[in-house]
Chain A
Amino acid sequence: MAKHHVTTTINGEPVEFLCSTRQTLLDVLRDELNLTGSKEGCASGDCGACSVMLDGRLVCSCLVLGAEAEGKSVETIEGMAEGDRLHPLQQNFLEDAALQCGICTPGFLVAAKALLERNPDPTETEVRYWLAGNLCRCTGYDKIIRAVMRTAAEVRGEAS
């Protein structure tokens, strides 16, 4: 059957693409738009490596059809830094060694950014539960949680 013609905004830019019904937003981002920063770890919403913002809400892009993105705004890891300036979370992930292999990192960053935009002063428990849908097998999460907490404190203007 004919493909769907979908008009969206991705990382602030107007984007049009064609997709079949079966293609997920993740498939579209990676295979059609060459935005490979969002990763496929499971294709079932269990690992969070494909996390993106869809109309301001954190979702797994593997659980959204490409066709559903019609008229919506999508933000991916590729839109997180502003020009050559990293987002504070990105900077602190680097400084705090909050990544080892790095495959889960884009998903964690997108999810953590969504958290801090809603809750600028999360407790450790809140950070851990918010990020429970993002699997990391390398770090044991310790340095990721610390980097998010430190960023929150910095953004609030508290000395870390």
Chain B
Amino acid sequence: MQSVQFEAPGTVEQAVALLAGATGDARVLAGGTDLLVQLRSHMVDPALVVDIKHIEETRTLVRNADGSYTIGSAVAGAEAHEHDRFAAEWPGVMESWDLIGSTQIQGRASLGGNLCNASPAADSVPAMIAAGMTANIAGPGGRRTVPVEDIPVAPGRTSLANGEFVVSFNLPARPAGGGDAYLRLIPRTEMDIAVVGCGVALVLDAGGIVTSARVSLGAVAPTVLLVEDAARAIVGTRLDDDALAALDAACQAACSPINDKRGTIVYRTQVAGVLARRAARIAAERAGSR
């Protein structure tokens, strides 16, 4: 256990310089709801903690002129809720964010932290992937933008290079006829880690036919999955029973979970299909209601 340097830079450049220049493990502090637990339980022993919440760009959630959103990586769920249109336009993303912990956690937990903690069970990640979100990354080599699904590579590991951190996210404008939803299974009603999570975003045409879809599953593999077969199973359908059964089967086929204290392989696989069916129906209802 070593003493830890703490810095709270005001610009992206300063943050990158600190992270890139660190000798030893450097950790980004956004909401802190994972990092502080890891610090306390000695799971991590960093030399440097960089609080990015003093960087304006990480702290703002804006709706752009084209209806897309730019979301700072350190914005807390409770803050997103206070935006006048965000929760109404992307209810699935919002509800996935809302499900991360308690009210108290909501006041702190950020999308950037939830993604970069790289837990396969992270609640917000399937919804972000389903919604087609991308992440804006800053690092010593400059800026780059990558799909959210490309960031986690293994439990606790990301594709971010040394000195890089996620500054913000891009969420596309909600398409006409679009709807999204996130569901998870936990034993209690709150305060648990997802045993299975499923995000679905889809677009319906005027006739109620699914024209495009993205389906993402959490906690059923080492990383959150984008399940393209699942999307294919429902595109071109009216989400009738056969389509939902095909969706269920495609999701189950994509699962490669583990047995652990939170659930079994059999249970996770089976429930992934159940949640996908239910989430798809909710997303379609939301799409149809516009």
A-to-B contact residues, CB < 8 Å: 1, 4, 20-22, 24, 43-46, 48, 51, 54, 57-60, 62-65, 67-68, 70, 111, 114-115, 129-134
Q: Restricting to B222-260, which residues have a CB under 8 Å from any CB of A?
A: none
**CB of B32 within 8 A of chain A?**
yes
B19: shortest Cβ distance to chain A, in Å?
A: 16
In the assembled complex, 17 residue pairs joining A and B whose CB atoms fall closer than 8 Å, in A order, are: A20-B3, A22-B39, A24-B36, A44-B37, A44-B40, A45-B37, A45-B101, A46-B191, A48-B102, A58-B104, A63-B104, A65-B51, A67-B8, A115-B103, A132-B189, A133-B104, A133-B190
Q: Which residues of A contact B40 (CB under 8 A)?
A: 24, 43-44, 62
**A4, B103: Cβ atoms closer than 8 Å:** no
**CB of B5 within 8 A of chain A?**
yes
Instruction: Using A132-B102, A132-B189, A133-B102 as known contacts, say yes or no to A45 and B107 having CB atoms under 8 A apart.
Output: no
Say which size band chain B's interface belongs to: 20 to 34
Bound state CA distance, A65 and B40, in angstroms?
11
Please report whether the interface of chain A is mostly helix, strand, loop or mixed according to DSSP: mixed
Nearest B residue to A115 by beta-carbon distance? B103
Bitwise interface map of B from 21 to 35 toward A, beta carbon under 8 Å scored 1, else 0: 000000001011100
**B33, A45: Cβ atoms closer than 8 Å:** yes
Which residue of the partner chain, among B33, B78, B189, B191, contacts A63 with CB atoms under 8 Å?
B33
**B37, A63: Cβ atoms closer than 8 Å:** yes
Bound state CA distance, A51 and B107, in angstroms?
11
**A65, B32: Cβ atoms closer than 8 Å:** yes
A128: shortest Cβ distance to chain B, in Å?
A: 8
B183: shortest Cβ distance to chain A, in Å?
A: 16
**A1, B5: Cβ atoms closer than 8 Å:** yes
Bitwise interface map of B from 1 to 22 toward A, beta carbon under 8 Å scored 1, else 0: 0011110100000000000000
Bitwise interface map of B from 71 to 101 toward A, beta carbon under 8 Å scored 1, else 0: 0000010100000000000000000000001
**B5, A68: Cβ atoms closer than 8 Å:** no
Instruction: Using A21-B3, A46-B191 as known contacts, say yes or no to A63 and B36 having CB atoms under 8 A apart.
Output: yes
Bound state CA distance, A115 and B107, in angstroms?
13
A122: shortest Cβ distance to chain B, in Å?
A: 12
**Given pairs A57-B107, A65-B32, A129-B103, 9 additional interface contacts (CB within 8 A):** A21-B3, A44-B40, A45-B37, A57-B76, A62-B40, A63-B31, A63-B33, A65-B6, A130-B103
Bound state CA distance, A24 and B38, in angstroms?
13
**A67, B6: Cβ atoms closer than 8 Å:** yes
**A133, B4: Cβ atoms closer than 8 Å:** no
Bound state CA distance, A22 and B40, in angstroms?
8
Bound state CA distance, A59 and B37, in angstroms?
14
A139: shortest Cβ distance to chain B, in Å?
A: 17
Bound state CA distance, A68 and B39, in angstroms?
15
**B104, A45: Cβ atoms closer than 8 Å:** yes
